[in-house]
Structure 1
Amino acid sequence: MAAFENLALSDALILFVICALAVWRAGSGLAYVADALSDRFRWEKSLVGLMALSTATSLPEIATTLSAAASQARELVLNNLFGGIALQTAILAMADFWARGSITNYPRKANHALEATLLNFMLGLTLIVLINGEPLSVSGVGVGSLTIAVFYVGSIWLLRKYDQSGDWVPVDLPDPEEDGRRSNTADPDAATSSLVLKAILYSCMILAFGLGLVISAESIAQLSGLGTSFVGVTLLAAATSLPELTTSIAAVRLGAYTLAISNIFGSNLIMLVLVFPADILFRSGPILRDTSQTVYASLGFGIAVTSIFLTGLIVRRKPRLGPIGADSVLVLIVFLASLGSYYLLK
């Protein structure tokens, strides 16, 4: 890290772009590999997206969160995590441009609606902890962040259980398998060991270049005068969400809509639970205490965009505005409004 402390603003921008491009490439490749592996082992794509793909694409957030927390950069940690929730939901809306019809029309089970409901619950729980100022702590770790971690584990258990026993099945929906685009799957005849090695390689690339993103973003925040709150909630959140963008677009182009949706909701759940390890590393008191207004706003916008897609998943027949569904249009509008709000609050 010391080698990058004296970066000029131009050098920091160049490093940021290089790392972002590398993360973009790795995330795109990972989607094809995940789709091939799920077909090879006949895994549910919603489960692959929720558990495996979302974890791999969240590696930049993990690297950013842990390194920033160890550096005692509270605002960078929280604004990157919570700001990324609205951003990644907007990524799902952008992926709708590559879908045939509204992307939220395709899921046949209520898994994704349940994912969105649990995500909204955890966002509300986090907001309650913030409003109350994280009053209880043990050895500098807030009880609120521990509670969030416990509810995350419970949410994953419930989602896995429901995935096996859900009995809500809508009818008269388009069939993604009839898209004719699944022939784009990379290396359909590749050996399983080769696919696994590629998944590991892409994940390592995301982790390594994710660290480069946080280093360059911190330098940009300091040298540009924009501050860590605004940079964390916009620039850094956007860069560390690049894997979600590339994997979601690639999955939608393959016709794997459930993989794309679960990838986004799963990544958002992970970003909330990362508050707990960040709280452990942050030694200046509970990390959810004495936060900025930007943190509150990012949680509020996260609830708003998640609620819009939750409505879209429940209301099966909805109008399209141009090439995408009305729910995706609303999500993009709310996300753009969030950027204006963050700038005013910086």
Structure 2
Amino acid sequence: MPAFVSTWGPKLGMRQMVISRYAFGYYGVILCCVLNLIGMCGFSILNCILGGQALASVLNGNLNWTVGIVVIGVVSLLVSFCGGSVLTWYERVAWFPVIITFAIALGLGGKHLGDVTFEPATARGVLSFASTLAGFTVTYTPLGSDYTTYFREDVKSWKIFLYSYFGFILSIIPLQCTGAAVIASASSVPLWEQSHTNGDVGGLLEAMLEPVHGFGKFLTVLLSLSVIGNVAIVPRYFFSALGTAIVIALAVVGQHRFYETLVNFLGLLGYWSAAYVMVIFLEHLYFRKGRFDLYDTTAWNTPSLLPTGIAAVAAVIFAFGPVVPCVDQIWYVGPVAETTGDIGFEVAFVASAIFYFVFRWIEVRWRGGL
């Protein structure tokens, strides 16, 4: 999904939230912007917690998590001041020490993986876990075309799609599988178990690298700094400073409840992202027949020439009616989810598609055009 919308950037020359105006309208897209902003701040909070924990673990308790979080947040802020070109360069090289660190960690700790016997997976557990993973990946969709806006219009869409798709696949799936294997095996290694029990994800990685002593600490520091590219997103001084202050404050609050913070956040984010995806996909593929020439790019900032947004906003809101009973989260389990597990993500897809199709069809008939 995020790979597909990445192909829209060169064709329309607009960022994803601006493109969303062609479904949500000039004013309705404000809702998407707010939810997207919350999502990005949420991911930044998680990154700061992980980076801060990893940095603190290197000094054997002489640096607490709070200070580590502040250091990561401030360094990220400084990088954001450097602008998009520096951030882009940083992201091009930051992956290398990450993959080296994980390769060494797996080489050192691989002998401990798979030592635990697991209970058979249940359908409910699989669906709930899948919903969490989907909530992580699909949330890139509201940013999809932001990274391709300045590409030439004649760039092949299939190339952008494949580059984006495999970029997501190769960076997400191996790390998630590795993380699942390490957490599952932590109970068989006392040092790992101690970090895991304390919610110290960064310390868990440092424990895996402990056999190489100082070099392991060096790798942990590099890994803690690698999250900077995920935090320093917007090169706007005021918004960067304000956002960093909010992120640091909330990261400090949630630092000792990382797993709960992660699951709660990704679960909520996944539901709205599913509804958003279906609205823009249906608008593009059905109402605009997949043709970019049906987007009046000169009307992007003229409310009267854009859709009212009522259909899209109503579809997202109405979709949460059937979604709520299907939610299975730490803070709430719906009556349907008690049997099926978390299928709120899937229901959000279907419900938003049905509601948007009906509401948008009425709007098009009423206005006499898109």
User: TM-score under structure 2 normalisation?
Assistant: 0.26
User: TM-score under structure 1 normalisation?
Assistant: 0.27
Higher Rg: 2
Larger RCO (CA under 8 A, 6+ residues apart): 1
